[in-house]
Amino acid sequence: MSMIKHGLAALAAGTISVSLALPAIAAPTKFDFWFGLSGDLERVVQTLCKNFNESQKDYEVVCTSQGNYDATLQNTIAAFRAGKQPAIVQVYDVGTATMMLSGAYKPADKLMEENGYKIDYSDYFPGIARYYATSKGEMLSFPFNSSTALMYWNKDAFAKIGKTEAPKTWEDVGADLKALKDAGYECPMAINISGNESWQLMEQFSAIHNQPIATKNNGYDGLDGRLEMNKTKFVQYVTDLKKWYDEGLIKIKSKDLGQDMVQAFASGTCQVILSSVGDHGTVGKTQKEGMSWDVAELPTYAGTERKNSLVGGASLWVLSGKSDAEYKGAAAFLNFIHDPKTALFWSTNTGYIPVTKSGFDYMKANGFYDKAPYKGREVAIASLTASEPTDITRGIRLGNFTQIRAEFGTQMQAIFANKVSVQEGIDTLVKNGDAILDRFQQTYPNKTLP
């Protein structure tokens, strides 16, 4: 029996499906988004993706955690070589130079323009935007999860030494730590000296003091930039930290040692830490019952003209080699991420900060920073906007910087174990770090950063 006869027979029987008489509904265009967050943050990203999918019917983003930042970048490189790359990938801050030189992306600003979205890029906080922009200010990726480092301090402990405010200078920090020790606190301050803590201890310190990490304006002006933190105020800073450690005013805390510094602070074990604003929610959820604490901008040495701190976190890159339909979906997703209402959702459910002025203003208008769980997070915005970014404080544009961070951890551990002097350790960091930069430059011969 022909198809027509089948249809007529069904119609006569009154059983033909109504759906046959209606126009087919086009399936939404699917596109992939890979990211490097895990645990509770992975859950929030998945909810964000679900919210996008439910906000419209044309596109469906498929969001997949790769476990961590390093794995995300490496898996993306492997997938790209196999022609199976996602449309969007989250790349951490120090992977920016690698992405810029890869040529494997579609510039975010061009993507949005081609798909009819008008984004006011001046709305992004300068300290955030310039980390992910070219030297001409072109936005190659979209800032996503952003943070900066703050000082967490126990107000109860400081009240016992007659202090109602956090120390603003490192000279004051030294005096306060001694007073806390004399008052009976076993751990006045905790630090972590692993490689990842380069972000808090070296990079943030250098930025707010307007001290270079490397020549060529931290690598922005050429791949031949080389490390020089062995000639800056950073040497004095590590000297002071080591002195306070030797005097028992600082304890080293890490997961490898059984308790990380955030846990040590939240439990009331240690009274001061330097950590990301992203940990604000964790401290609030896990703090010792009844403990009074707050956050403040990182201290500077006396006489320093404070500059903006550095943004941390990651941005969203759109990869090349995808279809026009997928690019339309990617643009719609980035526009959704850019919406101030999304900023409110994101910051409410994580410790990350809004990346745009409009997002920040929207959150303030909704009383976000007046609520106890979130009060204090606005200090991160004040830190990031303490000044217009200088040639040094706009960021770090050095290749293979993850390896340099690992070398930082190796040398810091040698310094605190009394295997080398402070100067010797930082000199070795520079020597070994420069070798890493040499290899990176050789990987991209005759190339320049955009």
Q: Which of 113, 146, 115 is nearest to 128 (CA)?
A: 146
Angle between helices 340-349 and 324-338 (to 10 degrees): 70
Whether the pLDDT of residue 13 is over 70: the answer is no
Mean pLDDT of 197-211: 96
Whether the pLDDT of residue 18 is over 70: the answer is no
Q: Regarding predicted confidence, which is higher, 136 or 162?
A: 162
Whether the pLDDT of residue 295 is over 70: the answer is yes
Q: How confident is the model at residue 12 (pLDDT cuts 50, 70, 90)?
A: very low
Total domains present in the chain: 2
pLDDT digits (tens, 9 = 90+) for 322-377: 999 999 999 999 999 999 999 999 998 888 999 999 999 999 999 999 998 999 99
Percent of the chain, pLDDT > 90?
82
Mean pLDDT of 128-146: 89
Residue 254, pLDDT score: 84
Residue 1: inside a domain, yes or no?
A: no
Tokens of 233: 């105020």
Is the domain of 167 the same as that of 277? yes
Whether the pLDDT of residue 16 is over 50: the answer is no
Specify the CATH number for the domain of residue 365: 3.40.190.10
The DSSP-derived string for 196-242 is GGHIIIIIIHHHHTT--SBHHHHTTT-TT--B-GGGSTHHHHHHHHH
The DSSP-derived string for 228-283 is -GGGSTHHHHHHHHHHHHHTTSEEE-BGGGTB-HHHHHHTTSBSEEEEEGGGHHHH
The DSSP-derived string for 77-144 is HHHHHTT---SEEEEEGGGHHHHHHH--EE-HHHHHHHTT----GGGB-HHHHTTSB-TT--B-SEEE
Is the domain of 85 the same as that of 220? no
Mean pLDDT of 393-397: 93
Q: At 275, phi and psi to the nearest 5?
A: -155, 175
Tokens of 43: 């859950």
Whether the pLDDT of residue 15 is over 80: the answer is no
pLDDT digits (tens, 9 = 90+) for 236-292: 999 999 999 999 999 999 887 778 899 999 999 999 999 999 899 889 989 999 999
Instruction: Count other C-beta atoms under 10 Å from residue 362's C-beta.
Output: 18
Tokens of 349: 């459910």
Is the domain of 184 the same as that of 279? yes
Residue 448, pLDDT score: 87
Mean pLDDT, the chain, as a whole number? 92
d(CA 227, CA 213): 6
Mean pLDDT of 120-145: 90
Whether the pLDDT of residue 83 is over 70: the answer is yes
Tokens of 226: 């080389």
Is the domain of 169 the same as that of 280? yes
Q: Print the domain residue range for 111.
A: 29-147+311-384
Residue 23: inside a domain, yes or no?
A: no
Residue 141: inside a domain, yes or no?
A: yes
Q: Which of 89, 20, 92, 33 is nearest to 60 (CA)?
A: 33
Residue 8: inside a domain, yes or no?
A: no
Whether the pLDDT of residue 378 is over 90: the answer is yes
Is the domain of 254 the same as that of 138? no
Mean pLDDT of 53-80: 95
Residue 222: inside a domain, yes or no?
A: yes
Whether the pLDDT of residue 203 is over 50: the answer is yes
